[in-house]
Amino acid sequence: MTNRVKIVGLVLAAGAGRRFGGPKALVELDGEPLVERVVRMLGDGGCDEVVVVLGAMADTVRDAAGAHAARFVVAEDWELGQGESLRAGLDGAAAAGADAVVVALVDQPWVGASAVRRLRDAAEAGAEAAVATYGGRPRNPVLLARSVWSEVSAAAVGDVGARAWLRGNPYRVVAVDCDGTGDPRDVDTPADLPE
């Protein structure tokens, strides 16, 4: 038997995109800003609500996020790295009454909604944490139940988000096969985008 839990999608979109030359959240792929694309993917994957974490060019990124995003939070110290963004996002998810979050990175625009649905199923089956795997390797997105947020937040330092906690607690993390649901590649430079 599964339990219905409130799953909030959490988009980490605060970075300045220094290697890219500007915030990756604003980069367009197929005529759509990456932030809007990831917000839509989380909604299509069954998230009850989506929280977008802002930082660099916050107002512009907010405008680009589209109508699917329900909440925005600003990571005041976003320049310190992904850990700050994750903590701000978890606070925003707590304010939204979430039981769990599916964390997605704004620079992974080819992740599919089916991966989110599979993580959601893991949450409803009682997983404390779950990570999407592709070819047997852990990638994104990841699911974090509210019961682990304080531990994850404590381990999130600098540019390390949930990764340190996930690696340190493998017995608490469910691997969810997401082969065939999309592609977890990052967009780090303009060369990573199709011509």
Span 19-54, pLDDT tens digits: 888 889 999 998 899 999 999 999 999 999 999 999
Q: What pLDDT score does 158 carry? A: 83
Give the bridge partners for 162, in sequence order: none
For residue 2, what pLDDT band results from cuts at 50, 70 and 90?
very low
Q: What pLDDT score does 20 carry? A: 84
What are the tokens at 28? 């367009």
Domain 7-180 has CATH 3.90.550.10: yes
Tell me the pLDDT tens digit for each residue of 67-124.
Answer: 666 789 999 889 888 989 999 999 999 999 999 999 999 999 999 999 999 999 999 9
Element (H, E) at 179: none
Cβ contact 46:120 at 8 Å: yes
List C-alpha distances in Å: 36 to 40, 51, 119, 180, 185.
6, 12, 21, 22, 17
Q: What pLDDT score does 1 carry? A: 42
DSSP class of 158: T
Q: What pLDDT score does 179 carry? A: 96
Burial class of 133 by CB neighbour count within 10 A (0 to 12, 13 to 18, 19+): middle
- Within 8 A by CB and 6+ apart from 173, the residues are 128, 129, 130, 131, 166
Cβ contact 175:127 at 8 Å: no
Residues 131 and 133: their CA atoms lie apart, in Å, by 6
- Per-domain residue ranges for the chain? 7-180
Whether 5 shows a pLDDT value over 80: the answer reads: yes
Whether 127 shows a pLDDT value over 70: the answer reads: yes
Q: What pLDDT score does 69 carry? A: 67
Whether 187 shows a pLDDT value over 80: the answer reads: yes
Q: What pLDDT score does 140 carry? A: 94
For residue 3, what pLDDT band results from cuts at 50, 70 and 90?
low
Residues 11 and 102: their CA atoms lie apart, in Å, by 8
Helical packing angle, 113-124 and 34-44, nearest 10°: 40
Residues 1 and 6: their CA atoms lie apart, in Å, by 16
pLDDT above 70 coverage of the chain, percent = 96
Q: What pLDDT score does 22 carry? A: 83
Q: Which of 62-66, 102-106, 134-138 has the lowest mean pLDDT?
A: 62-66
